[in-house]
A and B are shown apart, each in its own frame.
Chain A
Amino acid sequence: MENILSAAQQLMSPAALAAIVLGTVYGTIVGALPGLGSVIAITIVLPFTYSMDAIPSIALVLAIYCSSVYGGSLSAILINTPGTPQSAATLLDGYPMTRKGRAAEAIGWATISSVIGGLFSVAVLIIAAPQLARVALRFGPIETFALICMALTCIAGVSRGSILKGLLAGILGLFLATVGADPMTGAIRFDFGVFNLSAGVSLIPVLVGLFALAEVFCRAAERAGTPIPKTESSGFVVPPFREWWLRKRTLIKSAAIGTFVGILPGTGASTASFIAYSEAKRSGRFRDKFGTGEPEGLIASETSNNAVTGGALVPTLALGIPGDPVTAVVMSTLIIQGIQPGVRLFADNADLMNAAFLALILCNLMLLVVAAAGSRLLTRVLSMPEPVLFTMVVVLSLVGSYGVNGNMFDVLVTFIAGIAGVAFRYIGVPVAPIVIGLVLGPIFEESLRQSLILTDGSFGAFFTLSHPIALGLFALAALLMAFAIATEIRGMQRKPAPDAPEI
C-alpha cells in the first residue's frame, strides 16, 4: 500500500500527467494515420526523452504505446483502413457498422474493449510477470511453429463465402511473404532482378492497398452506389451494459488470448487479433453475424490487440528481451533513464516500476477521455462529401505506405495491391486471408526451418513428448481445422436455406 502511494505521488507531478495526456492524444493520432505505427510514434519522441526526468519519459512512452495500438482501430472503423496492422481484424466488423451509420457506436465498442483489454493485461503484468516470463522462455522454435499452425487455421474463420477461395488467398499471402531474403541463408528469392524486391513485400503497403485503395476504387466505380448513411456527430456512444453482458465470454477470452500471445516474443498484436477474432467467430454468441457489422467481432479484435501491450511488456521487463520492434524502443527509453530491464528489474527498481505500472493503468483510462473528446470530431470525417473523403484516404494511404520504410517502391506496391483488391472483390475472393498469410508467413517459415535444423530435418521429432506444449498446440490446430471443415460441409448441405442459423 505504501509503495502504491509513493508511486502515485511520483506520478502526480504536472510533467508526468502532461506526458500521459499528450502522449495519449499524440499516440492515438499517429496510430490512426495509416502506415505510421507505434514504432514511428515512439521513435519520434525518443530524443526528447533523453532530456526528461525518468517518470515523465516512461509515462510518455507507455502512453504512446497503448494509444497508438488503439488509434489504428479508428481509421479501420471509419475509412476501412487499418491505421496499424494490429487493427486489420477490426475493420472486418468495424467498417460494416460504419456503412450502416453506426460509426459512433462502433467507436464506443472499440474504445471500451481496448481499455478493458489493456487493463486486463496490465493486471497480469503486475501480478505475474516474472513467472510468465519463464513460460515465454520455454517457447522455442518448435512451440512457435505449432502456435503459428494454430493461428493459420484462422484463415478458415475469416473466409466468408467460399472456404476454397479463402484458402487460396491465404496461400497467396504466404507466398508473398517468401519474396525477399531467405531468413536462413540470406539468399534472395523471387526478386526478378528488381533490387527493391530483395527487401520483400512489406505488410503495410499491401494492407493499405487491399483495403483502403480498393474501397476507394470500388466506391468511385459504382457512382450510383448506396451512399454511407450519415452518422450523427454524436461522437462516442457507450453501448449499454446488457449488450456487453451478452458478449462477455468473447471479451474475457480475447483479453486472455491477447495477453498470452503478447507474452510470447516475436508473435505480435496482429496475430493475437486474428486468433481472437476467429475464436469468437467459432464460439461467439453472435457468430453468424460476423463480417456484417457485429460488435462481438470488434470486441474480439480490439480487446486482444490492446491486451498484447501488457503481455508484450512481460518478457521486455522481466527478461530484458523485447519481442518486437515496439517493445525494443520502449526498452531503450527505459535504459536511457537508467532502468535496466531484466531478471533483477523488479527487485532493483521497485519504486520506478510501481510508478510505471500506475502510469500504464492511467494511460489506458486516458483512452476513454481522448475517445470521448475526439470522436465527435472524427465521426465528422464521415459527413464530408465523398470526393473529399476519398481524396484524403488516398493521400493518407500513400503517405503512410511511403513512411514505413521511406521507400517510393512501397507506394507502387500499394497501387498494385489496390488494383488487385478491386479484382479480388469482383471475383469474390476474401482479402483478409492474404493479410493473415503475409503476417504469419515470415514467422511460420522461420520457426519451421529453425525447428528442422534442430531436429536434423525430421518432422516426426516435432510431435514427441519432449515438446508437450507444441504437442498440445498441434492437437488444437487439428481440432480447429476439423471444426472448420465440418462447419463448411454442414453449410453446403444446407445450401438451399442460406439464412438458416448454424447448429
Chain B
Amino acid sequence: MKIHRMLCATRREFAAATLAFGALAMPLHAQDAYPSDTVTLLIPWAAGGATDVAARAIQPTLAEQLGTDVIIKNVSGAAGTIGTAEAARARPDGYTVLVTSAGPVAVQPHLRKLPYDLDSFKPVGRVSLTPMLTMVPQDSPYNTIEELIAAAKENPGQITAGSSGAGTLPHLAILALNKAAGIELKHIPFQGSNAAIKELLGGTVALFSDQSQSAPKYELNGLLAWSGERLEEYPDVPTMKDLGYDIEMGNWIGVFVPLDTPEEIATALNEALNNTLNDPEVLQNFADLLLAPSPTSIEEFDAFARANYEFSREMLQDAGLVQ
C-alpha cells in the first residue's frame, strides 16, 4: 500500500515534468503531404527574448494557417549561433523552421568561424521590420545629429555610444555612422537593449540606436532615422539618406528553412506566414509589442537578407572585426 502510494507520487512528478517539457519535445514525422505533423519553430534565443516573444505571438495563428500543431523550441547560446547551427543541420523537411533576428544569420558569420552561413538556409519570409532611430536622452546637449557630429569631430573618441552587444545592429549603426560622418564614437557594449537604455537614461552613454518605438516609451529624443523614408512619428528627424549617405538599417525577424528543403514547402510556409501577419489578432499583438509586421515574398526576403549580410560584412570589415 505504502509502496503503491509512493509510486503514485513519483508518477505525478513525472507527469509534471512531461507537461513542462511538452513545449520542448521533438516531433516524429510522417511522410504525407506537408504539413502532416507538428512544425517546430526553432528560436536561437532564450525564452522571453524579443524574437521568442514575436514567435509566440504568431504561433497560434500560424498553427491554424498550416492546419497542424506548431511548437516552439528555444536553443540559446553564443549570440544565437548554437540554435542557428542546429537549424542548419535539421532535416530539410519543413518541420524544423528557424525564426531569428538578423544577428545569427547576417552578422555572426562574419565575426567567427561557424558551421553554417547564410547560404545554408533557404529564406521563407520576413516577420517584422522595425525602423531604427538614433536616440539621446531629453537632457542631452545635442539637439540635432549635426550638433552631435560636430561635437564628435571636435572631441574624437570622447562621446560614448551604447550598443546591445558586439555585432548587434546598434553596434553596426555606430560603425556606419563613424564611417559615414568620419567621426570616432566610443563604443560601449551592454548585454541587450534594456541594459543599454538603462545606461542611456542614467547618463553613462550619450547615444544609442535601436528600434524607433523605444523613443516614446522611454521619453527619448530622436536624432537620426535609419529607414529609407522619414518616419511618420518624426517628420523633422533626418534619415541617413538626407545626410547624403546611402545607408538603410532596421531590426528584422525572419523565417528560414535548411537549404535543401523542397521549394513547395517553402512556398506553403511563406503563404501561411503572410496570412498570419494579416490576422487582426496578430496585428493587435504586434502593435502592443511594438513590432511592425512586414510580410514579403520569398524572392524579396532573399534579396533583403543578402543585402543585409553584405552590408554588415562591409561595416565589420572596415572596423577590423571580420575574422
Interface residues of A (CB under 8 A from B): 29-30, 33, 36, 39-44, 46-47, 50, 136-141, 180-188, 195-196, 198-200, 202, 265-266, 315, 319-323, 325-326, 328-329, 332, 335-336, 338, 340, 342-343, 377, 380-381, 383-384, 388, 392, 396, 399, 403, 405-407, 446, 450, 453-454
Q: Which of B47, B194, B288 contacts A43 (CB 8 A)?
A: B47
A200 touches B78 (CB 8 A): yes
B219 at the binding interface (Cβ < 8 Å): yes
B78 touches A198 (CB 8 A): yes
User: What distance in Å separates the Cβ of A247 from its nearest Cβ neighbour in chain B?
Assistant: 32
Chain B residue nearest to A199 (CB atoms) is B77
Offer 10 A-B interface pairs, CB within 8 angstroms, sorted by A.
Answer: A33-B16, A43-B23, A43-B56, A180-B78, A188-B78, A196-B82, A265-B194, A319-B198, A405-B46, A446-B191
Contacts of B73 in A (CB 8 A): 406
Contacts of B166 in A (CB 8 A): 182-186
User: Whole-angstrom distance between the alpha carbons of A17 and B111 in the complex?
Assistant: 50
Interface string of B189-202 (1 = CB under 8 A from A): 11100110111011
A47 touches B218 (CB 8 A): no
B6 touches A405 (CB 8 A): no
Q: Which of B16, B56, B77, B191 contacts A200 (CB 8 A)?
A: B77
Chain B residue nearest to A25 (CB atoms) is B16
User: What distance in Å separates the Cβ of B75 from its nearest Cβ neighbour in chain A?
Assistant: 4
B167 at the binding interface (Cβ < 8 Å): yes
B46 touches A137 (CB 8 A): no
B268 at the binding interface (Cβ < 8 Å): no
User: Whole-angstrom distance between the alpha carbons of A50 and B279 in the complex?
Assistant: 14
B186 touches A181 (CB 8 A): no
A336-B57, A338-B288, A450-B190 known; 7 new pairs, CB 8 Å cut-off, are A39-B47, A40-B20, A141-B188, A186-B79, A186-B112, A198-B81, A321-B201
Chain B residue nearest to A336 (CB atoms) is B288
User: What distance in Å separates the Cβ of A228 from its nearest Cβ neighbour in chain B?
Assistant: 15
B6 touches A380 (CB 8 A): yes
The 8 nearest A-B residue pairs measured at CB:
A199-B77, A329-B48, A43-B47, A186-B166, A199-B78, A137-B202, A406-B75, A140-B204
Contacts of B59 in A (CB 8 A): 47
Q: Which of B23, B108, B114, B288 contacts A335 (CB 8 A)?
A: B288
User: What distance in Å separates the Cβ of B253 from its nearest Cβ neighbour in chain A?
Assistant: 15
B198 touches A265 (CB 8 A): yes
Q: Is the interface of A mostly helix, strand, loop or mixed?
A: helix
Interface string of B54-83 (1 = CB under 8 A from A): 001101100000000000011111110111
Contacts of A315 in B (CB 8 A): 198
Q: Which of A138, A320, A399 contacts B21 (CB 8 A)?
A: A399
User: Whole-angstrom distance between the alpha carbons of A207 and B49 in the complex?
Assistant: 24
Contacts of A328 in B (CB 8 A): 48-49, 194
User: Whole-angstrom distance between the alpha carbons of A47 and B22 in the complex?
Assistant: 14
B198 touches A137 (CB 8 A): yes
B56 touches A266 (CB 8 A): no
User: Whole-angstrom distance between the alpha carbons of A267 and B159 in the complex?
Assistant: 27
Highest count of chain B CB atoms <10 Å: which of A196, A199, A329: A199
With A200-B77, A329-B48 known to touch, is A44 a contact of B23 (CB < 8 Å)?
yes
A187 touches B218 (CB 8 A): no
B10 at the binding interface (Cβ < 8 Å): yes
User: Whole-angstrom distance between the alpha carbons of A314 and B239 in the complex?
Assistant: 36
Contacts of B111 in A (CB 8 A): 186-187
Chain A residue nearest to B187 (CB atoms) is A453
Contacts of A336 in B (CB 8 A): 57, 285, 288-289
User: What distance in Å separates the Cβ of A243 from its nearest Cβ neighbour in chain B?
Assistant: 30
User: What distance in Å separates the Cβ of B29 from its nearest Cβ neighbour in chain A?
Assistant: 18
User: Whole-angstrom distance between the alpha carbons of A289 and B124 in the complex?
Assistant: 62
Chain A residue nearest to B83 (CB atoms) is A406
B194 touches A321 (CB 8 A): yes
B37 at the binding interface (Cβ < 8 Å): no
B217 at the binding interface (Cβ < 8 Å): yes
Chain A residue nearest to B202 (CB atoms) is A137
User: Whole-angstrom distance between the alpha carbons of A137 and B202 in the complex?
Assistant: 5
B26-64 interface with A by 8 A CB criterion: 46-49, 52-53, 56-57, 59-60
Q: Which of B57, B115, B165, B217 contacts A50 (CB 8 A)?
A: B57
User: Whole-angstrom distance between the alpha carbons of A407 and B86 in the complex?
Assistant: 9
Chain A residue nearest to B193 (CB atoms) is A321
With A181-B79, A186-B165, A342-B218 known to touch, is A399 a contact of B17 (CB < 8 Å)?
yes
B188 touches A450 (CB 8 A): yes
A40 touches B47 (CB 8 A): yes
Contacts of A405 in B (CB 8 A): 46, 74-77, 82
Interface size on B, residues (CB 8 A): 65
User: Whole-angstrom distance between the alpha carbons of A46 and B10 in the complex?
Assistant: 28
A343 touches B10 (CB 8 A): no
User: Whole-angstrom distance between the alpha carbons of A380 and B53 in the complex?
Assistant: 39
User: Whole-angstrom distance between the alpha carbons of A44 and B201 in the complex?
Assistant: 32
User: Whole-angstrom distance between the alpha carbons of A205 and B6 in the complex?
Assistant: 28
A186 touches B167 (CB 8 A): yes
Contacts of B17 in A (CB 8 A): 33, 396, 399
Interface string of B1-32 (1 = CB under 8 A from A): 00001100110010011001101100000000
A140 touches B78 (CB 8 A): no
Contacts of B48 in A (CB 8 A): 39, 42-43, 325-326, 328-329, 332
User: Whole-angstrom distance between the alpha carbons of A380 and B201 in the complex?
Assistant: 51
User: Whole-angstrom distance between the alpha carbons of A40 and B52 in the complex?
Assistant: 12
B315 at the binding interface (Cβ < 8 Å): no
B56 touches A388 (CB 8 A): no
With A42-B48, A320-B217, A399-B21 known to touch, is A140 a contact of B199 (CB < 8 Å)?
yes
B85 at the binding interface (Cβ < 8 Å): yes
Highest count of chain A CB atoms <10 Å: which of B85, B166, B290: B166
B303 at the binding interface (Cβ < 8 Å): no
B60 touches A138 (CB 8 A): no
Contacts of A450 in B (CB 8 A): 188-190
B120 at the binding interface (Cβ < 8 Å): no
User: Whole-angstrom distance between the alpha carbons of A407 and B26 in the complex?
Assistant: 12
With A185-B321, A407-B77, A407-B82 known to touch, is A137 a contact of B47 (CB < 8 Å)?
no
B160 at the binding interface (Cβ < 8 Å): yes
With A39-B48, A141-B204, A377-B9 known to touch, is A453 a contact of B288 (CB < 8 Å)?
no
User: Whole-angstrom distance between the alpha carbons of A47 and B46 in the complex?
Assistant: 16
User: Whole-angstrom distance between the alpha carbons of A388 and B14 in the complex?
Assistant: 13
Contacts of B202 in A (CB 8 A): 137-140
Contacts of A29 in B (CB 8 A): 16, 20
A265 touches B195 (CB 8 A): yes
User: What distance in Å separates the Cβ of A18 from its nearest Cβ neighbour in chain B?
Assistant: 18
Chain A residue nearest to B54 (CB atoms) is A332
User: Whole-angstrom distance between the alpha carbons of A151 and B199 in the complex?
Assistant: 22
B71-112 interface with A by 8 A CB criterion: 73-79, 81-83, 85, 108, 111-112
B195 touches A266 (CB 8 A): yes
User: Whole-angstrom distance between the alpha carbons of A388 and B289 in the complex?
Assistant: 47
Contacts of B167 in A (CB 8 A): 186
Contacts of B76 in A (CB 8 A): 199, 405-406
Highest count of chain B CB atoms <10 Å: which of A40, A343, A381: A40
Contacts of B186 in A (CB 8 A): 453
User: What distance in Å separates the Cβ of A303 from its nearest Cβ neighbour in chain B?
Assistant: 26
B82 touches A199 (CB 8 A): yes
B190 touches A47 (CB 8 A): no
A188 touches B112 (CB 8 A): yes
